[in-house]
Structure 1
């Protein structure tokens, strides 16, 4: 985990004319023309675009679950969390945190529970604590399915196991002192709360990407977290006026990544009025409908210069790539790229999917046509 700090030169760059004076994000020039062109497409077939908007919103709200199932899954997740928290060892000031899309509100209502076990002033390595937790879980967790807890050795090691609660089988991932994930979750939670269009777009793109095979980190493609960051970046730099601000620079007291994770504030509100009062400027609201934003996302990334440019959240911009990553997208509280595309061939297949999706929706803005894209096209 790193604490985000800005040099004087970096801080001064936000005063440049290329940055939005209120949200402090640097837009891509082509985005203005793209959004105008998409708006013109809407004028030619208003009815179909309105249905595209409503289908996206409905998809984001339901994600193939009815209201009863949604409530049941949420309750079952809470019960699973409580049972796991009761079993893992207790250390001074240690605590268990729900992280990822289940907490940020940017994921589908899936059967995955991502957890971080925070142990202040640890004596042992995370892998040692995971070994202790593994034994406790296998000996005492009543809802453990298959009596198996696997230790996964990655850059950030974690335990992987399944629990059966209220008839739902949840896949659980438990890491230790992965505080950057807690800070990320907190930031993404506030972005989702800042603009309600973010969540349905992320949910749909996640579903679509998994369906056609470009979200599959085990095979060297994108992961769900990367796609979420791509949409956040697009909402900052790929639309005009911008939809999301640079909360990291504007509110360091909340988002620098140096505070006690137990004191992260999920209730504080950041909205247009707050920005107007703080900056003495009027917010130019972006009213682009969901359908326009979906098409714009595909246009933006089909033209993205992956070989030479990367995405930087600290500076809220697209800039020259400084690493050998196939696709560099800054992991906000880490020194690594959030994306691990394994080969140029995989990247080309991802770009091909974006190109085809842009063509499909530009020709006829029907969500079903996008969902009918098959893995075979890649």
Structure 2
């Protein structure tokens, strides 16, 4: 239940004045400045930890801290609130007692580094971050360690929030917001997409939500540019695949073409994404594939061939799943993990479709990289454990950009180009890395920060019990299959791609995470806040 102050619950007496020092200072500072706040306490029995959550509505600050000890959780959250207030120039170091300076500088430096590296405060990393902060609270840095931190902050790649007069601090409390862009660090201003697409709005209303949304958009763009697969990685993968294809063709009984599929070529892959390959029998047609027993027999033959010393891959292992694959790894210098399937041409057509959606509007891959990372960190992008697959998340995002925005961000490619995206089109006629003709730029000018918040709002209130999502038609369809809580139509075989999420409890977890992400983005307008799941 929310508490109105940082005092201990009834029946508990604070015996250590040092441990309650920061909490008391923050409480007195907020009361003296008329700032409303809430401090809530929650015990998580599964993890046997306490969670302290502090919300300062006036400054749109929401922080959380987790520890096995309630006092320590409250102390960590108080230091994080103090660091955010210092970063916003709402609080100065002159007002802060000197005994708190070193710890606050450490917290602020960690936050600025995490922001620079595109990392997020995901729940899976909360324990590690809390451990570091607990050490910083108990073992306050000496002068030598602070000098080391100060030398690190001189690096131009780090946003130095520890200097009281730093020009790199983004001051959102000024009446004039025109100079915000000049206060941004080089790693954001260096973005060619940002400078071309999303100028900072000219406003004189001071601490506005639109200003925060633009900062959120800049965080998303920076995270995207640091996470997306660079061109040279794709070229390396293509060369490795060519080498593998030549080796496979040395087996005379196998005559197949290799097609690279999945995130490596659909425009949504990260720097460390695996290589997915489809071996297509040259004599087969799309309506002749799908024989699982035949695929297993052929893959066993290929596996024996790949286990030879001359093979460019190692550790070839046959996995007899619903779609059988060979899992292996390229030898040095490539070292990429590889999944090889036989005649699963649906993956080729899906890759071709997603690739052209990525080409249609750059906001789609930007949003996907952020949403996919969030879903993986929260554990709801895992089809093996009963949640949605990465492909289903991509279809959810495409549908939102088709039907959840006005005007639409993405068109319906299968309606615009029925021949080009037909399942009967021959594989050799599928084109990649070429923009489709007659596609005009969307008139929707919403930036990615606003679209990300709207995505979670759209699915937080979506009626999955009545409607089925159809990217193929670019619309909603009435549900005709109720075996799973969510129904997402596969664009080609029209099966439900969300059938792995079959339990109602997991659906409630999925919906709860969606709604919490919307609440955190709406209240804090920070990319890291999206990962607060408690």
Q: Distance in 2 between matches of 1:64 and 1:265?
A: 22
Q: Does structure 1 conserve the Cα–Cα contact (< 8 Å) formed by 2:228 and 2:270?
A: no
Tell me, what secondary structure is at the counterpart of 1:232? helix
Q: CA deviation at 1:267?
A: 5.0
1:1-378 correspondence to structure 2 within 5 Å: 44-63=208-227, 70=230, 73-89=233-249, 94-122=256-284, 125-140=294-309, 142-145=311-314, 148-166=315-333, 169-270=335-436, 274-275=438-439, 285-323=443-481, 324-339=483-498, 340-371=500-531, 373-374=532-533, 377=534
TM-score by length of 2: 0.56
Q: Distance in 2 between matches of 1:64 and 1:235?
A: 20
Q: Distance in 1 between matches of 2:394 and 2:310?
A: 32
**Structure with more contact order per residue of length (Cα contacts < 8 Å, sep ≥ 6):** 1
Q: CA deviation at 1:52?
A: 0.7
Q: Distance in 1 between matches of 2:439 and 2:240?
A: 39
Q: 1:106 to 1:91 in 2, by over 3 A?
A: farther
Unaligned runs of 5+ residues in structure 1 are 1-41, 277-282
Aligned to 2:76: none
Q: Distance in 2 between matches of 1:105 and 1:284?
A: 19
TM-score by length of 1: 0.78
Unaligned runs of 5+ residues in structure 2 are 1-205
Tell me, what secondary structure is at the counterpart of 2:330? strand
Tell me, what secondary structure is at the counterpart of 2:419? helix
1:152-191 residue CA offsets vs partner (Å, 9 max, x unmatched)? 223322111222332x532211111111111111111111
Q: Does structure 1 conserve the Cα–Cα contact (< 8 Å) formed by 2:228 and 2:268?
A: no
Q: Distance in 2 between matches of 1:350 and 1:207?
A: 15
Q: CA deviation at 1:290?
A: 0.2
After TM superposition, the structure 1 stretch with the greater mean CA deviation from structure 2, 329-338 or 180-189, is: 329-338
Q: Does structure 2 conserve the Cα–Cα contact (< 8 Å) formed by 1:235 and 1:242?
A: yes
Q: Distance in 1 between matches of 2:439 and 2:372?
A: 30
Q: Distance in 2 between matches of 1:74 and 1:354?
A: 32
Q: Distance in 2 between matches of 1:131 and 1:216?
A: 27
Q: CA deviation at 1:268?
A: 4.5
1:224-268 residue CA offsets vs partner (Å, 9 max, x unmatched)? 111111111111011111111111122112001111111212255
Q: 1:164 to 1:267 in 2, by over 3 A?
A: closer
Tell me, what secondary structure is at the counterpart of 2:335? strand
Q: 1:75 to 1:120 in 2, by over 3 A?
A: closer
Q: Does structure 1 conserve the Cα–Cα contact (< 8 Å) formed by 2:402 and 2:409?
A: yes
Q: Distance in 2 between matches of 1:170 and 1:112?
A: 6
Q: Distance in 1 between matches of 2:223 and 2:510?
A: 23
Q: Does structure 1 conserve the Cα–Cα contact (< 8 Å) formed by 2:267 and 2:365?
A: yes
Q: 1:255 to 1:284 in 2, by over 3 A?
A: closer
Q: CA deviation at 1:72?
A: 5.7
Q: CA deviation at 1:313?
A: 2.1
Q: Does structure 2 conserve the Cα–Cα contact (< 8 Å) formed by 1:328 and 1:338?
A: yes
Q: 1:96 to 1:140 in 2, by over 3 A?
A: farther
Q: Distance in 2 between matches of 1:142 and 1:91?
A: 17
Q: CA deviation at 1:142?
A: 3.9
Q: Distance in 1 between matches of 2:502 and 2:312?
A: 36
Q: Distance in 1 between matches of 2:311 and 2:433?
A: 34
Q: CA deviation at 1:342?
A: 3.3
